[in-house]
Chains A and B, each alone.
Chain A
Amino acid sequence: MILLVLVLKYLLLFLICLFLLNVILNLSPSGKTKKAVLEVLSSGTAAVQSGKKWDLGKGVLLGRGSECTVNLPDPYVSSRHARIILQDGKYYVTDLGSTNGTLLNDQPLTFPQQLHNGSYLKIGGFVLKALIPEEKKAGRSLLLPLFPGLIIAAGGLELYWQQLLKYQDIGVLMAAALMLVISSYVVEYRGRGDPLLIQMISVLSALGLVLIYRVDPYYGIRQSYWVIAGFGLYWAIQIFLVEYKRLLNYKYTFMVLSLVFLAITILFGVEAGGARSWLSFGSFHFQPSEFVKIFMVIFLAGYLDENKEILRGGTLKFGRFYFPDWPYLGPLLAVCGLSLLLLVFQKDLGMALLFFAIFLVMVYIATDRSYFLLLGLGLFSAGTVLMYHIFPHVQNRLSIYLNPLEELDAGGYQVVQSLFAIGGGGIFGQGFGSGFPTLIPAVHTDFIFSLMAEELGLLGALAIIGIYFILVWKGIQTALQASDDFGLLMACGFSSILALQTLIIIGGVSNLIPLTGIPLPFLSYGGSSFISNCFLIGMLSKISAEGESAENLGVVADTAGD
């Protein structure tokens, strides 16, 4: 009996650790494939040593002429003898009407033929061997996409045993689980772009769903609908957005939309959890700033892509530093300043912090100029000091941060309970369903991490941090492989949203940094947050997919050239 309970309690933790382990073992070494090369086996002249290698890249020309990459100085070789081209990730070799012909594996080459790994080319007195690495994504995982379903099943089993699972809810939970699993399988087998992006968020969503349902079935059911809607949006983006570059034309639309959203919230917003950042439609609450963060990234990526050269140089002089002229710097500062101001008015400090950090990161990456970073941090410090003196609740937050246990009655209750929860979890946790979520206010939204650490322990918490880290890493990798700078900047912006949101709220609930409320992506309860984050991952997938196909077509953005 007790052993059965033991299994039920720790199955969830086991599954999450197993998933992470599986992901880590399957990671390809940072996406860098080995290069395809042509190696000289035996040489016709003394000028070329055997063993010399040429990089095939996107295709090369072979011949005696100096314009040929693969230069073969041999009288029996024609000046433009043969060509190797890359198409759909495969190399093809063609004879260019040479005098003495080309032999592929001792057969005369009469029409373009595929060059396989280990094929021999005989040209004049040369014997060349092609070394072509195996194609990427060789092994597809049958198991990985199944994990979200397993997690929901394991959680459901334990909740059923504790008599917390209502029969009428099983259908909805199963629908959500099905959505997650099917999405993961489709991406793994048919999709383009990095499948790990969607698999990671599926597992996070599944775990979030189980934890939220465990706190309150009412929210759990609502979250199931959000999961289905969010993944629906993901697929809508994959299907209907033909090319992400088209968004470039609408960048100012996104800007205006952002400011309008924020302004509306100021005018008609209602207060919840201390921040006035919600629009209310009956029982349905909508948080515009969650979408503004995405729009902002798209606008910034477009604007910075267009003006990055000008922003790098500078004519405006402040002391020893040169800054770009007002017409270029102005709009950027105005938009950023305005949106920050609006957020501060809403008392949504976590979101304000996130916006500011994303703005800084994107400007820094677009311009490569670290003084923007220094300037930003200076402004941030000044802003913090200013806010500290203006808002009493900022002072309160700081004193709670410095001495949470002594400020127990002065607003420190939430953080202290969160610390008790995390500290009480130990290495393996209390077991799923055995923590005390009712002791922490807002546990299903901002404080979901504390509950997780209490029930799944240090091990679970570290696994979740690991999953977020891999998610961010995949985002950054997407940025590096993007086919253009707009995509790169957008992917960077989205990855920073994921990274910073995770760091801000996990740091906040564990009192590593002062607490500023913000949802933990995909884990916390919240429709606006979940759907906007799905939108974000949808865009990342799109950028990843287009970057991948661009690479295959051989037009990888070396054009960025820096």
Chain B
Amino acid sequence: MRNTVKKFFIFITVCFLIYAGYLIYLVLLKGPALSKHAANPRQWIVENRVMRGGILTRDGEKIAGSIIEGDNNKRKYYYPQQYAHLTGYHSQILGKSGLEKAYDEELLGLKGYSLRNLEARWGLVKTEGDSLYLTIDHQLQMKAYELMSSYRGAAVVLNPRTGEILAMVSTPSYDPNNDSLEKSWDKLRENESRPLWNRAIQGLYPPGSTMKIVTAAIGLKKYPQLQDVTFNCQGQLTIEGRVLRDLRAHGTVDLKRALAVSCNSYFADLGMRIGSEDFTRGLEAFGWGAELPFDLPAADIPLDRESLQNANGLAESSMGQGKIQVSPLFMAMVAGSLGNGGLMMTPYLVQEIRSPEGDLVWKREPQPLRTVASSEIAWQVQEGMVQVIRPGGTGTAASLPGITVAGKTGSAENPAGNPHAWFVAFAPAEQPEAAVCVVVENGGQGGRIAAPIAKELLRLALTRED
């Protein structure tokens, strides 16, 4: 009998230990997610005791701030459409998104255990949260939205030497101010052009011919003498029974010329010669199949190894069709890295966090992400990209007087209709200060639709005061 009692007690002991372990798991591992859950009313009670910090651009323009309305704080977005996808929204009913979500604790000043935080947590005094200072240039952002607003698509401008995002828009956009957002929520969600979706970081598109700068870099790595080799374009190429067409027969072309006229046959042939193993490795060096670190939840760039195993897949991928996909942000980073001697920088949007008194709480340092190519190769690709803008190239619409622009057009075939118009560029070519990527969904020829937008953005980016 006593032994059975002891057995029973061992059972009870094990139960209590399991309970203790489960509670530790629940609080330490599940706790943070539970605290931020949209249905948790606690965060809103705490939030009402805090003046949420503002969001400002690099030049000090306030784009989001809190105003007091009766007993409640109200969030106000001063340039709603232009910045909607960056700031996100902030609603008791719909939850939070964008920077409002990603930097929630900082904006509320609740990060960590400082005394100021405790005061806010206990509701002793109404405190004020920290403010975010973005890398965005206000004028450039406004201009970008203005240029893009009549299209569906995205535009990204960044500084290739630091990774700072100077402008990032996604169109169509929406109004994140609560009065408007909560009323039109259902309509926004059902809208077929998906205004709530941030195309610049979440959209994955085939890159079309802009991919050729990547193929060129991979080819140069495998064949250092590639620049001296010529290829005879006959206007079409037959690969395993499938015919691949060009707009016209380009005749004898070398690498620079092939980039300038965007010769499909040249790059299909080059891709097949590189072979699936080296091509895959080359893509990985650029960041395909890796995580894309960013302040907002950006889509990782997928790498479909399977599709690169046969000649047709290789040929398609090397000219940016088939299973190859990129986001506009990523393509801007690729173009920027070729201008930056092959060094890709980690992109970022928040450069400083400042306390309500204006003291610096946190400051971002630029960080290299990866080396995508040697500086020699980057330079050679860049020479080809300069030819794209020069007379006879496909991207002449992006030329700026007195400044050497390097770019590449793209028209990505897609099942949804007209090709997506792409344009990536950086300038000045010798020492780039800005890299840009423009995508217009179903816009047709990249050189006609996307290049002029890119040109305007580059011009403004290069003349900005900083």
Contact surface of A with B, Cβ cutoff 8 Å: 2, 5-6, 9, 308, 361, 364-366, 368, 405, 408, 416, 419-427, 430-431, 434, 436, 439, 453, 457-458, 461-462, 465, 468-469, 472-473, 476, 479-480, 485, 488, 492, 496, 499, 503, 506-507, 510, 512, 560, 562
B187 within 8 A of A: no
- List, sorted by A's number, 10 A–B pairs whose CB atoms are closer than 8 Å: A5-B124, A365-B1, A430-B121, A431-B122, A436-B41, A436-B45, A457-B27, A458-B27, A461-B27, A512-B19
Contact call A364/B4, Cβ cutoff below 8 A = yes
In the assembled complex, the Cα of A343 lies from the Cα of B30 at a distance in Å of: 35
- Which of B13, B40, B119, B123 is A469 in contact with, Cβ under 8 Å? B13
Q: Which of B31-39, B50-58, B314-322 contacts A (4 or more CB under 8 A)?
A: B31-39
In the assembled complex, the Cα of A419 lies from the Cα of B122 at a distance in Å of: 21
B9 contact set on A, CB distance < 8 A: 473, 476
Contact call B39/A480, Cβ cutoff below 8 A = no
Write the chain B residue with the least CB distance to A458: B27
B32 contact set on A, CB distance < 8 A: 423
- B1-32 residues with Cβ-Cβ distance < 8 A to A are 1-6, 8-9, 12-13, 15-16, 18-20, 22-24, 26-28, 30-32
Interface centre among B26, B33, B118, B119, by most chain A C-beta atoms within 10 angstroms, is B26
A485 contact set on B, CB distance < 8 A: 1
Min CB distance A543 to B, Å, is 13
A364 contact set on B, CB distance < 8 A: 4, 8
A365 contact set on B, CB distance < 8 A: 1, 4-5, 8
- Which of B20, B33, B41, B115 is A2 in contact with, Cβ under 8 Å? B115
B237-278 CB mask vs A (1 if < 8 Å, else 0) is 000000000000000000000000000000000000000000
In the assembled complex, the Cα of A90 lies from the Cα of B152 at a distance in Å of: 96
- Which of A6, A408, A469 is B16 in contact with, Cβ under 8 Å? A469
B281 within 8 A of A: no
Interface pairs A-B: 9 shortest CB-CB: A423-B34, A423-B31, A458-B27, A420-B40, A476-B9, A469-B16, A365-B4, A424-B35, A499-B12
Contact call A423/B27, Cβ cutoff below 8 A = yes
Write the chain B residue with the least CB distance to A366: B1
- Which of B3, B22, B26, B119 is A423 in contact with, Cβ under 8 Å? B26
A420 contact set on B, CB distance < 8 A: 34-35, 37, 39-40, 42
- Which of A436, A453, A465 is B42 in contact with, Cβ under 8 Å? A436
Contact call B5/A426, Cβ cutoff below 8 A = no
A462 contact set on B, CB distance < 8 A: 20, 23-24
Contact call B26/A510, Cβ cutoff below 8 A = yes
Write the chain A residue with the least CB distance to B33: A423
Given contacts A439-B41, A461-B23, contact A479 B16 (CB under 8 A): no
In the assembled complex, the Cα of A364 lies from the Cα of B7 at a distance in Å of: 11
A473 contact set on B, CB distance < 8 A: 9
- Which of B19, B31, B118 is A507 in contact with, Cβ under 8 Å? B19
Min CB distance A289 to B, Å, is 22
A6 contact set on B, CB distance < 8 A: 118
Given contacts A2-B118, A2-B124, A469-B13, contact A479 B5 (CB under 8 A): yes
Given contacts A368-B3, A439-B42, A560-B2, contact A422 B26 (CB under 8 A): yes
Contact call B26/A368, Cβ cutoff below 8 A = no
Write the chain B residue with the least CB distance to A424: B35
In the assembled complex, the Cα of A333 lies from the Cα of B41 at a distance in Å of: 48
A480 contact set on B, CB distance < 8 A: 2, 5-6
Min CB distance B125 to A, Å, is 10
B28 contact set on A, CB distance < 8 A: 427, 458
- List 20 additional contacts besides A453-B23, A458-B24; criterion CB under 8 Å: A2-B115, A5-B118, A365-B5, A420-B35, A421-B42, A423-B27, A423-B31, A424-B31, A424-B40, A425-B27, A425-B31, A434-B122, A453-B27, A465-B16, A476-B5, A480-B5, A488-B1, A560-B1, A560-B2, A562-B3
B118 contact set on A, CB distance < 8 A: 2, 5-6
B123 contact set on A, CB distance < 8 A: 434
Min CB distance B6 to A, Å, is 8
In the assembled complex, the Cα of A416 lies from the Cα of B35 at a distance in Å of: 11
In the assembled complex, the Cα of A507 lies from the Cα of B21 at a distance in Å of: 12
B44-64 CB mask vs A (1 if < 8 Å, else 0) is 010000000000000000000
Contact call A492/B5, Cβ cutoff below 8 A = yes
Min CB distance A361 to B, Å, is 6
- Which of B26, B41, B122 is A5 in contact with, Cβ under 8 Å? B122
B40 contact set on A, CB distance < 8 A: 420, 424
In the assembled complex, the Cα of A416 lies from the Cα of B40 at a distance in Å of: 9
Write the chain A residue with the least CB distance to B116: A2
Given contacts A423-B27, A458-B27, contact A488 B5 (CB under 8 A): yes
A499 contact set on B, CB distance < 8 A: 12, 15
In the assembled complex, the Cα of A422 lies from the Cα of B24 at a distance in Å of: 10
In the assembled complex, the Cα of A365 lies from the Cα of B115 at a distance in Å of: 55
Min CB distance A308 to B, Å, is 8
Interface centre among A364, A405, A423, by most chain B C-beta atoms within 10 angstroms, is A423
Interface centre among B27, B37, B124, by most chain A C-beta atoms within 10 angstroms, is B27
- Which of A9, A426, A488 is B27 in contact with, Cβ under 8 Å? A426
B8 contact set on A, CB distance < 8 A: 361, 364-365, 476, 492, 496
Write the chain B residue with the least CB distance to A362: B8
A560 contact set on B, CB distance < 8 A: 1-2
Min CB distance A157 to B, Å, is 15
Given contacts A436-B42, A503-B19, A510-B22, contact A422 B1 (CB under 8 A): no
Min CB distance A3 to B, Å, is 9
Contact call B27/A434, Cβ cutoff below 8 A = no
B344-359 CB mask vs A (1 if < 8 Å, else 0) is 0000000000000000
In the assembled complex, the Cα of A488 lies from the Cα of B5 at a distance in Å of: 9
B39 contact set on A, CB distance < 8 A: 405, 408, 416, 420
Min CB distance A190 to B, Å, is 29
In the assembled complex, the Cα of A6 lies from the Cα of B15 at a distance in Å of: 34
Given contacts A2-B118, A431-B122, A473-B9, contact A458 B37 (CB under 8 A): no
Contact call A405/B1, Cβ cutoff below 8 A = no
Write the chain A residue with the least CB distance to B40: A420
Given contacts A434-B121, A510-B22, contact A423 B35 (CB under 8 A): yes
B34 contact set on A, CB distance < 8 A: 419-420, 422-424
A5 contact set on B, CB distance < 8 A: 118, 122, 124
In the assembled complex, the Cα of A422 lies from the Cα of B26 at a distance in Å of: 8
B26 contact set on A, CB distance < 8 A: 419, 422-423, 510
In the assembled complex, the Cα of A30 lies from the Cα of B82 at a distance in Å of: 71
Min CB distance B31 to A, Å, is 4
Contact call A512/B4, Cβ cutoff below 8 A = no
A510 contact set on B, CB distance < 8 A: 22-23, 26
Contact call B12/A472, Cβ cutoff below 8 A = yes
Min CB distance A440 to B, Å, is 11
In the assembled complex, the Cα of A549 lies from the Cα of B8 at a distance in Å of: 26
B37 contact set on A, CB distance < 8 A: 405, 420
A507 contact set on B, CB distance < 8 A: 19
A425 contact set on B, CB distance < 8 A: 27, 31
- Which of A405, A436, A512 is B22 in contact with, Cβ under 8 Å? A512
Contact call A458/B23, Cβ cutoff below 8 A = yes
B22 contact set on A, CB distance < 8 A: 510, 512
- Which of B3, B12, B19 is A506 in contact with, Cβ under 8 Å? B19
Contact call A426/B2, Cβ cutoff below 8 A = no
Min CB distance B299 to A, Å, is 25
- Which of B1, B23, B45 is A368 in contact with, Cβ under 8 Å? B1
- B66-87 residues with Cβ-Cβ distance < 8 A to A are none
Contact call A465/B124, Cβ cutoff below 8 A = no
In the assembled complex, the Cα of A475 lies from the Cα of B317 at a distance in Å of: 73
